[in-house]
């Protein structure tokens, strides 16, 4: 059996440093562990590598021959790992909600990859109420008020919500009171959205009892596409479906929260990071195509 890399590392450190105690300190293990690993290697190669005396440790001729070979081997191994590490493509992690990811970003991300094939974008799901920016995240895209203390926040989309339905449902709705005969598709994290829209329409929310609730907006959108009812949605999430006629907007009334908008949130120093700068430039360009204005 060939010696393990761990065992050879223990032998190399002990030969170079001249003691098991020093090798244990360098490798952050116990002296007993070093002694055990060295004995295991000696047994596997059939050679004694050290002369063990009461207060000293001396390499045998076999140990002296092996020392430079092991040192060179580990230098080469470290260099190989470093080469691979440096060759890892640059990238960035962006924390986003599942609906933004599925309904807007992912369908467009191939455009970024075509323009910047050497930059890896890692999408991280962020659904917490508190807006945070973990050390390993380059940015997050969240619904928030701006600015945030210590962070830059650039506006992407307004917080507008509009009612939409599949064509077979929409054709049956001529006036707002017709909504009484259809199911309202709700999202659990926005329970007041439909009551606010109905009240703004002059309707009593208490009269609307046919409701179906979902954890995420993307589920409500899919339910609307499948004809299960009427959803309140962000226009950018369904623009492709509206253009293709898969969904129909109902009425001109939109529900807005003027104090909030969807923002790209990042640390100011990220503007010195080329992968992030490339992603930000592309993202704001894509936002511009939707007709939204990204405010710096």
DSSP assignment string, 50-80:
EEE-SS-EEE-HHHHHHHHHHHHHHHHHHHH
- pLDDT for the residue 85: 67
Q: How distant, in Å, are the alpha carbons of 62, 113, 194, 237 from that of 107?
A: 63, 12, 28, 11
CB atoms within 10 A of CB 99: 20
Instruction: With H, G, I as helix, E, B as strand and everything else as coil, classify residue 199.
Output: helix
Contact between residue 248 and residue 264 where contact means Cβ atoms under 8 Å apart: no
CB atoms within 10 A of CB 61: 10
- pLDDT for the residue 127: 64
Instruction: With H, G, I as helix, E, B as strand and everything else as coil, classify residue 149.
Output: coil
- pLDDT for the residue 296: 36
- pLDDT for the residue 294: 44
What is the set of domains in the chain, with CATH numbers? 5-85 (1.10.10.10), 92-158+259-292 (3.40.190.10), 162-249 (3.40.190.10)
pLDDT tens for the chain, 296 residues: list them: 789 999 999 999 999 999 999 999 999 999 999 999 999 999 999 999 999 877 778 999 999 999 999 999 999 998 888 777 665 567 889 999 888 899 999 999 999 999 999 899 999 887 666 677 888 899 999 888 766 788 999 999 888 999 999 999 999 999 999 999 999 999 988 889 999 999 999 999 989 888 999 988 999 999 999 999 999 998 989 988 999 999 999 999 998 877 788 899 999 999 999 999 999 999 999 988 766 544 43
CB atoms within 10 A of CB 224: 27
User: What are the structure tokens assigned to 219, written together?
Assistant: 């589920």
- pLDDT for the residue 133: 82
Give the global pTM. 0.63
Q: Where are the alpha helices (DSSP H) in the chain?
A: 5-17, 20-27, 31-45, 61-87, 98-100, 106-115, 167-170, 193-200, 217-225, 235-244, 274-289
């Amino acid at each position: 059996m060939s010696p393990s890399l761990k065992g050879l590392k223990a032998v190399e450190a002990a030969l170079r440093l001249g003691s098991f105690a020093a090798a244990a300190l360098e490798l952050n293990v116990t002296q007993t562990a070093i002694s055990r690993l060295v004995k295991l290697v000696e047994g596997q190669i059939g050679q004694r590598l050290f002369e063990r005396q009461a207060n000293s440790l001396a390499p045998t001729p076999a140990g002296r021959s092996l020392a430079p070979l092991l040192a060179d081997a580990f230098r080469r191994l470290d260099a190989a790992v470093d080469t691979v590490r440096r060759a890892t493509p640059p990238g960035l992690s962006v924390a986003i909600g599942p609906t933004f990811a599925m309904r807007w970003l992912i369908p467009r991300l191939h455009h970024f990859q075509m323009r910047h094939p050497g930059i890896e974008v890692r999408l991280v799901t962020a659904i917490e109420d508190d807006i945070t920016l973990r050390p390993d995240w380059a940015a997050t895209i969240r619904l928030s008020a701006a600015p945030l203390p210590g962070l830059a926040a650039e506006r992407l989309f307004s917080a507008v919500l509009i009612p939409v339905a599949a064509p077979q449902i929409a054709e049956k709705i001529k006036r707002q009171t017709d909504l009484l005969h259809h199911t309202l598709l709700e999202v659990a994290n926005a329970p007041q959205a439909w009551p606010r829209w109905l009240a703004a329409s002059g309707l009593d929310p208490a009269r609307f009892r046919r409701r179906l609730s979902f954890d995420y907006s993307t589920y409500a959108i899919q339910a609307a596409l499948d004809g299960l009812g009427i959803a309140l949605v962000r226009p950018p999430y369904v623009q492709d479906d509206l253009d293709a006629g898969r969904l129909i907007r109902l009425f001109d009334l939109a529900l807005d929260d003027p104090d909030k908008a969807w923002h790209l949130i990042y640390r100011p120093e990220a503007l010195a990071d080329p992968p992030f700068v490339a992603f930000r430039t592309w993202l704001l360009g894509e936002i511009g195509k939707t007709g939204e204005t990204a405010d710096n």
